[in-house]
Structure 1
Amino acid sequence: MTALTVSYSILDPAVPLAPRASQCALAVMAKAPRPGKVKTRLAPPLTLDQAAELNACFLRDTAANIGAVAASSPAAGVISYTPVGDEVFFNNLLPDDFVLIPQRGGDFGERLLATAQDLLSCGFGSVCLIDSDSPTVPAAAFEQAIAELQKDGDRIVLGPSQDGGYYLIGLKRAHSEVFADIRWSTSSVFAETVAAAKSVGIEVVVLPLWYDVDDGETLGLLTAELLGDVPPPFATLPGYCAESTRAYLIALNEQGSGRR
């Protein structure tokens, strides 16, 4: 059997490149979209196969959004992926100029910190770690994060999510304090992260509020936004069009959403 070829370069933190010093790495924290391994809280109402395909659509749209932002900003698109060995699952999901970097570490905080450390070691001047569950984040939020991190002085940029977490954290230095002792997957993640930053004197810049799609309720919010042109009630900016996700939601509606 012929081995599949990985379509994207894989970064090596031991090989920094000087031209990256002026760039912000826009890194999506992503699992390979295998059925049963991603978006399992969406099954039901979806099947595990449908949930995995929806996750792939989220990745396509988030990467397309980031790619468009990077084309006119000092930034580059990256996928920080897990597990190692599943790189081919990202083939045909990303713009051609995206690169991959493997995740390392144990819990989510360790993996976030390690990704920030590795990308800064690769030579990027700053890093934004972005979730893979928010396909309609406004492009303006990414642009604001990049602009804040281009300014002189140290700071952390946070994009709060409606559920109390965050969809983006941007850093110029890998501050371990903002990833340690955080109660991940709770409604206090954003507040705990802000408190941790302030406790060590790091400025925090807050981006517009957005939302993650993790369950049936937030899937309904996404469906209303993309199929009904109903923006989230807290939105202050227009969301990204997320064409792949929109097309798949239409297909799911036509199939009856796979409800069992």
Structure 2
Amino acid sequence: MRQAVIIFTRVPEAGRTKTRMMPHLTPKQCELLHTCFLEDIRKECETCSADVFVYYTLEKNINEPIIKSIFGKQTGYFAQTGEGLGERMYNALAEVFEKGYEKCVLIGTDVPEVQSTYLENAFEVLSEKDVVFGQTVDGGYYLVGMKKPLKEAFGLSEYGHGTVFEETVKVLEKAGLTVGYVEILEDMDTPEDLRGYRARMRDCERLKQSETGKYLAKIAKISIIIPVYNEEKTIEKLQEQLEDLKDKCEILFVDGGSTDRTLELIRQEYTVIQGFKGRAVQMNEGAKRSTGDILLFLHCDSELPERPLAEIRRVMKDHAAGCFGIAFHSRNFFMWTCKVISNHRIKDRKVMFGDQGIFVDRDLFFEAGMFPELPIMEDYQFSLNLKEMGVKLGMAKRRIYTSDRRFPKGTISKLKVMWKMNRLRKMHRDGVDIHLISQMYKDIR
């Protein structure tokens, strides 16, 4: 039996494709992302027992070789014809059926997770049903197949709403036609959809190895959120580190009402958000105002390692939250001990602290309730919340250096501080009033 798959697509061209992703993605990134979708779909179609036809939008200055360079030698390339989307889909199916095919499936290209088994399944469904659909979660469909051209399937006046699938099925059933279904998939239309793909990718090696998965991991947008309060001694050094990063990610300073020269020293190219004092409050406000897929919460006195964005993206391919390993410039033995204990704590007890540079998937951050707005230990409690949710933490290979300004000079004094901090955490776990604990934790600024 002769079977055909029609790939129904726009030509990937900057500014004309995946425009709902902008400005989160640049026009060029939208073009490359759509190209990745097409490459993944092509690979699946190549293993399907059907001939493949590519129907693309005919627009001014569109370059057909772009499509041919992606799909290679297929059965045929044709421009879409017709006024609306429904008419264009019907015309494509009618033209292919005229070539003698007995079953034909048309698929869109916003579903890079489609698999050849879904297409084969669709042809099997058509052995018993008049029409087959692959529904999308948003209420549309990514696949429609039939054994002859049926105008009833394409009579809707609009196709951009969330009841397209439901309304189309009702029309077909009213006409006495039988309808079957294959797998439900996610459309990839918005930045939120991309974050959903990344979340699914962490648990699926096939998606990680796909062209779409590799590209999304590479371009995940990172927002660096830096709470500041009276940081005139550290703010300039931090900005020197950020100089090479400012055009590669979003950087937000959130001030808690500094009374020194902190705000005066922050350069004009950076975004400054005015907030209330309290690290948790400041970081949460920065997160709300951010646009990144990944949120990095950075202390002002921290020193980032080389290529921190690449490190974060590497970790976040497999994890929804993580941090850097910590290190101190101090050569004191007990500071070395503090470093070892802190890094081991991530692997052993699944707990990370703010001075390790916490980074987290945007959706997970808000799902977890953000940082609890406590006067102290907001980072510790956030880690405990993630642990309770079953979130596995990742740790970057490179170390973030943090200031040892909380530790006084002298070995005994350092030991006392370490012991006290451990005791305060124990008090928090035991339910002691956080305000009492806060009073015991001296603000050194």
TM-score by length of 1: 0.79
State the match for 2:79 in structure 1. Answer: 102
| Maintained 8 Å contact 1:136/1:242 | no
| Maintained 8 Å contact 2:8/2:54 | yes
- Any idea what the Cα deviations from partners look like across 1:238-259, whole Å, max 9, x if unmatched? 9767621122112213895897
Pairwise CA distance, 1:95: 4.5
State the match for 2:218 in structure 1. Answer: 251
Match status 1:137 vs 2:114: yes
Unaligned runs of 5+ in 2: 223-247, 251-290, 293-445
The 1:242–1:87 alpha-carbon spacing in structure 2 relative to 1, beyond 3 Å, is: farther
Pairwise CA distance, 1:48: 0.7
Match for 1:229: what amino acid?
Answer: D
Query: Identity of paired residues, percent?
Result: 28
State the match for 1:233 in structure 2. Answer: none
State the match for 1:173 in structure 2. Answer: 148
CA distance in 1, matches of 2:208, 2:175: 38
Match status 1:193 vs 2:193: no
Match status 1:209 vs 2:188: no
| Maintained 8 Å contact 1:30/1:80 | yes
Shifted more, 56-65 versus 117-126: the winner is 117-126
Which of 97, 101, 113 is matched with 1:120 structurally? 97
Which of 21, 36, 49 is matched with 2:15 structurally? 36
| Maintained 8 Å contact 2:130/2:147 | yes
Match for 2:39: what amino acid?
Answer: R
- Any idea what the Cα deviations from partners look like across 1:73-117, whole Å, max 9, x if unmatched? 2x1122111116531111321143352122100110110111111
State the match for 1:146 in structure 2. Answer: 123
State the match for 2:391 in structure 1. Answer: none
| Structure index of larger Rg | 2
* Dislocated runs of 4+, deviation >2 Å: 95-99, 238-242, 253-260
CA distance in 2, matches of 1:77, 1:241: 26
CA distance in 2, matches of 1:47, 1:204: 40
Pairwise CA distance, 1:129: 1.0
Q: Could you say which structure has the greater relative contact order, defined with CA pairs below 8 angstroms and 6 or more residues apart?
A: 1
State the match for 1:229 in structure 2. Answer: 203
Unaligned runs of 5+ in 1: 1-21, 231-237
Alignment of 1:66-77 (within 5 A): 66-69=45-48, 73=49, 75-77=50-52
| Maintained 8 Å contact 1:67/1:95 | no
TM-score by length of 2: 0.47
Secondary structure at 1:201 match in 2: coil
| Maintained 8 Å contact 1:134/1:211 | yes
Shifted more, 211-220 versus 247-256: the winner is 247-256
Task: Give me the CA root mean square deviation.
Answer: 2.4
Query: Aligned pair count?
Result: 225
The 1:65–1:184 alpha-carbon spacing in structure 2 relative to 1, beyond 3 Å, is: same
CA distance in 1, matches of 2:209, 2:41: 8
